[in-house]
Amino acid sequence: MRKIIKWRWAILVAWLVATVLLTAFQPDVNAILHQRGQDPLSEDSPSKVAGKMLSKMNETKGMSDILIFYNKDKLSEEDMKQIGTAVQSLRAKQAELGLTNFIDPITVPQAKASLVSPDGTTLMASFILEKNGRSVDEIGEQIESVLKDVKVEHYLSGEDFIQNDYIKASTKGVEKSAALTVIFILLVLVIMFRSLVIPFVSLAAVGVSYLCSMGIAAQVIDKLDFPITSVTQMLLILILFGIGTDYNILLFNRFKEELAHGSSVDDAIVTSYKTAGKTIVYSILTVFIAFAGLSFSEFGIYKSANVVAIGAVVLVLEILTLTPFLMKTLGTKLFWPSKKVTGHKESRFWAKLTQVSVKNPVVTTVIIVVLLIPVLLTSGQKLSFDQLKELGNDHPSTKGFSIVGDHFSRGQALPTTVVIEHNKAMDNNEALSVVDKLTNNLKKIEGVVSVSSVTQPQAAPIDFFYASGETEADGSKKFFIPDQMLASPDFQQSEASYMSKDRTITKLIVILKDDPYSTEALDTVERINSQLTSTLKDSTSLSDSTYGAAGPSSTTYDMNKAQIKAFNGTAVIVIISVLIVLIFVIRSFWPAVYIVLALLASYYVAMSASKLVTEYFIGADGVSSFVPFFSFIVIVAVGVDYSIFLMMRYKEYGKMAPSEAIVKSAKSVGGVIISAMVILGGTFATLIPSGLVLLIELAAAVIVGLVVLCYVLLPMLVPALIVLPEKLKRKRAAKSSS
């Protein structure tokens, strides 16, 4: 440390150069996010496989979107004239705009039944959007420039536009949160240290860490095609500023304490780093390992959060090299305008809680465990993947989709597409019979409104295709298309619409009753997948075909399955990693286990809280799907820091009896831990004004989890469990001696 103090000016220059270069040449991660979208699924997921087959069949690559025209009083003749002109203009610029498979009810009259609402107020045009390197915002502007003379109320919606609005809302929420975080931390540090210097010094140091971390992360995201999501930058901001400030509180408090004991500035720095510095290194190690463990996750959204591991490495380098420069250069001026340098106040409150628990460890443990039982029983989550409900109707894409939902079937705008690929052409009676049977079987599924296919292009059976009086083994009418009908222009048109050019791929369009992102839609997709498998496996001609379901409902269903699997696997990795680090730091097995149990208990309390907030305050159908995992990783990876703060001080009193040592430790670091909790909890509280359901639920879960950890589990349950063996041993000894 003395060498770092000696070379402090060179170190400062190195940090400034690194910060400037990494910031100046940082790729725009928001632009990358808008360009790529959020795609957390692996290439072999069923919906992606189906999507690839569909792209191969359509000879295009992109997602399904819609253009919606609306007049609440019914579309007039003048409206339809304007819409017709607009459609012709769009068709004339299809290639330029990247609109493929463009279907509208004006130039394709047979689509009128499905694209014009029964009440005549709403008209849709569907298309597949090829981005061709453009952002969705750019595409939207290009389409709107074509529609500039259209006076009819209109909206762009569908997969691309809904996801784009969701990303924009998330980005806006993160930017608002970042500004509020800075203001909040400044106020808390001013109040805590009674200093006008420390808040700005601390924020500057953490800010340098963030800028360098984000610069490195952005290069990795851009150059190595690393996954990025709307929560990536948010997590890095919240956790770096949260824990960075926490560590500064611990370090500056120890520095202040050493100065109060009469040490010189250099000696105070060296002693601070030998004690608090070591604690900080161990704490950052747990954060690094927990987030680095996400690299092994197959789920892209979880994997994207391991940029925090990059942040942890940069932060520890900053604390070990740049912060000593600030301490040496400013010395006692850090605490200006306070002229008197005194140590931080001891926490009598925390000491009292710990004292009560170590005097009555059995009673304390039993009471807390009993109180946790109902929490554990009510912590189960109903997850929601519904981006539409999270966004509300304040965005063009969701407002347009809401209109479609009100005037069509809820699933009309974004249908599920079943795709089948065979190694031989399927334009024969044997294969078409299986497709028709599948069409009829899918129609029987609860939650399915209609199914159209090559044999039922208008979503209804064609009587001429069934042999009179002949039935299959299952009692259904035997399907048979005469050769002259197979060669007819009408059926050739149906094949062109529902099959690939070589007729080896065919699709079935399934309209669902419910919103495509709803839980009910996901249940319907599960039944569709099951029926698809059973029908094709039972057939003789298509049993060896490749098949799957594409569309937002299918993608969301696959995300749900992948997320649950990834959560379970990644959570185990994180818990084991944290336990190993704790054992290494504490040098004792059982206290490490007790701390991990406390962290898990605080997580389950957090889940109960998020469920309560979701049901009774937000009024949503379920907790946003990303909340459980990110709550878990924050509470476990960051909450363990507070345990390390306590246990490192506990180790300093190793010669004392465990009960006395833990009380003294609680008294010494309790105030620091509570301050750290307030800082981190406050940074997450800044997410609430964002208005985004995901961020509000995440904030509520993390805050409640940290409060319970810092006011109940750490000062009471963990100390009680630590002294419990000693207490029981004494009781047994007393009984045997009597």
Query: Which residue, among 478, 423, 433, 426, has the nearest Cα to 456 in the 3D structure?
Result: 433
Per-residue pLDDT, averaged over 2-14, amounts to 89
pLDDT in tens, 346-365: 788 999 999 999 999 999 99
* All domains in the chain, ordered by first residue: 1-36+195-337 (1.20.1640.10), 60-151 (3.30.1360), 344-394+566-737 (1.20.1640.10), 415-550 (no CATH)
Strands 63-70 and 153-158 turn out to be antiparallel
Residue 166 confidence class, pLDDT cut points 50, 70, 90: confident
pLDDT in tens, 588-615: 899 999 999 999 999 999 999 888 888 8
CB atoms within 10 A of CB 464: 10
Structure tokens at 57: 């069949």
Residue 737 confidence class, pLDDT cut points 50, 70, 90: low
Structure tokens at 238: 């919240």
Per-residue pLDDT at 129 exceeds 60: yes
DSSP 192-218: HH--SSHHHHHHHHHHHHHHHHHHHHH
In the DSSP assignment, the letter for residue 335 is G
C-alpha to C-alpha distance for 299 and 564, rounded to whole angstroms: 10
Whole-number Cα distances in Å, 682 to 142, 183, 643: 42, 11, 19
Q: At what angle do helices 159-193 and 232-260 cross, to 10 degrees?
A: 10
Model pLDDT, residue 339: 63
Per-residue pLDDT, averaged over 97-101, amounts to 91
Omega of the bond leading into 591 within 30 degrees of 0 (cis):
no
Model pLDDT, residue 432: 94
C-alpha to C-alpha distance for 606 and 701, rounded to whole angstroms: 4
C-alpha to C-alpha distance for 340 and 342, rounded to whole angstroms: 6
Residue 340 confidence class, pLDDT cut points 50, 70, 90: low
C-alpha to C-alpha distance for 232 and 210, rounded to whole angstroms: 13
pLDDT in tens, 177-191: 888 888 988 888 888
The most confident of the ranges 86-90, 259-263, 649-653, 685-689 is: 86-90
Strands 153-158 and 448-452 turn out to be unpaired
Number of H helices, E strands in the chain: 29, 12
For the entire predicted model, the pTM comes to 0.83
Query: Which residue, among 125, 147, 9, has the nearest Cα to 66 in the 3D structure?
Result: 125
Burial 313-324 (b: 16+ CB within 10 A, else e): bbbbebbbbbbb
Is 154 strand, coil or helix?
A: strand
Per-residue pLDDT, averaged over 315-335, amounts to 91
C-alpha to C-alpha distance for 20 and 215, rounded to whole angstroms: 10
Per-residue pLDDT at 620 exceeds 80: no
Residue 323 contacts residue 204 (beta carbons within 8 Å): no
Half-sphere exposure of 225 (CA within 13 A, CB side): 3
Distance between terminal CA atoms of the chain? 56
Per-residue pLDDT, averaged over 713-720, amounts to 94
pLDDT in tens, 31-68: 888 777 776 777 788 898 999 999 899 888 888 899 99
Identify the residue with better confidence: 224 or 142: 142
Q: What residues contact 524, with CB distance under 8 A and at least 6 apart?
A: 445, 446, 447, 448, 512, 513, 514, 553
Model pLDDT, residue 341: 52
Q: Which pairs with CB-CB distance under 8 Å and at least 24 residues apart come from 338-342?
A: 338/193, 338/194, 338/195, 341/256, 341/259, 341/260, 342/256, 342/260
The most confident of the ranges 208-222, 394-408, 511-525, 577-591 is: 208-222
CB atoms within 10 A of CB 652: 14
Per-residue pLDDT, averaged over 685-696, amounts to 86
